[in-house]
Amino acid sequence: ARRIAHEIKNPLTPIQLAAERLQRRYGKTIEEKDGVFAQLTDTIVRQVGDLRRMVDEFSSFARMPKPVFHPESLIDLTRQAVFLHEVAHSDITFRLDTPEAAPLVCDRRQIGQALTNIIKNAVEAIEARGEDAPPGEINVTLDLGERLMTATIADNGIGLPLERDRIVEPYMTTRARGTGLGLAIVKKIIEEHCGTIAFADRPGGGTVVTIVFDTLQLDALLEDNRDPAETSKGEGALAMLTRTGQKS
């Protein structure tokens, strides 16, 4: 799968560069009223970008690395994921509600990728509404229980599709340009972190995504995979996260 993804990706760069060079060299010499040239070259560049994104997602799904567990702050990971979209979508209101601390044993990169993907889906669901829709809102809530850590992402977008029971299956998508791998990757990441993910209708319209982590199982995974020499360092880091967590 990785080889096929690589072979598909190889010709994409020269195709894109050739189309962009055609735009620069001949775009100004063609009459403005004849927009066919610009439309065709724009289509090439745009479709190459779509292909590149599809290949990247396929390649990522094919070679999902084994998670490397460390004590992290779920508050920081969530805040970073929200910030990435908040900057790009100033017309959407983002709210983050967290406890004073939310220590979680996890693979920082993978959990960050999962949160970013879910929030991206929420943004796209809001953008898919009609022009008369109310202002977009995305609320992210973290809750730390005695054993469970729960992250909830709620949006007021178009809501779940009819095929809601299959949305985490590989290659299942309701979007014209979707690969059907985004939520499949998220599900795989969450499951490898001793967690579950569920989707439900939001009262008043939209979607609620609920992720639940079993913190005791994650702590045990850290102990099983840890070098004995790293034990005291890891315990110190986890204690520091617990003490220094910030309320958002």
Tens of pLDDT, residues 94-137: 999 999 999 999 999 889 989 998 999 999 999 988 888 899 99
Amino acid in position 29: T
Sorted by sequence, the CB contacts under 8 Å of residue 156 that are 6+ apart come out as: 126, 134, 136, 137, 202, 204, 205, 206
Helix (H) or strand (E) holding 197: strand 195-201
Q: Which of 178, 146, 144 is nearest to 161 (CA)?
A: 178
pTM score, two decimals? Answer: 0.66
Q: Report the pLDDT averaged over residues 32-60.
A: 78
C-alpha pair distances (Å), 132 with each of 4, 126, 160, 204: 44, 12, 19, 16
Residue 30 confidence (pLDDT) above 90: no
The phi and psi torsions of 80 (rounded to 5 degrees) equal -65, -40
pLDDT at 236: 46
**Secondary structure class of 33 (helix, strand, coil):** coil
Q: pLDDT exceeding 90 applies to what percent of the chain?
A: 37
What distance in Å separates the CA atoms of residue 202 and residue 160, rounded to the nearest whole number?
9
pLDDT at 231: 41
Among 26-40, 73-87, 120-134, whose mean pLDDT is lowest? 26-40
Q: Which of 6, 40, 46, 48 is nearest to 23 (CA)?
A: 40
Residue 151 confidence (pLDDT) above 90: yes
Amino acid in position 170: P
pLDDT at 27: 78
**Secondary structure class of 128 (helix, strand, coil):** coil
What distance in Å separates the CA atoms of residue 109 and residue 147, rounded to the nearest whole number?
23
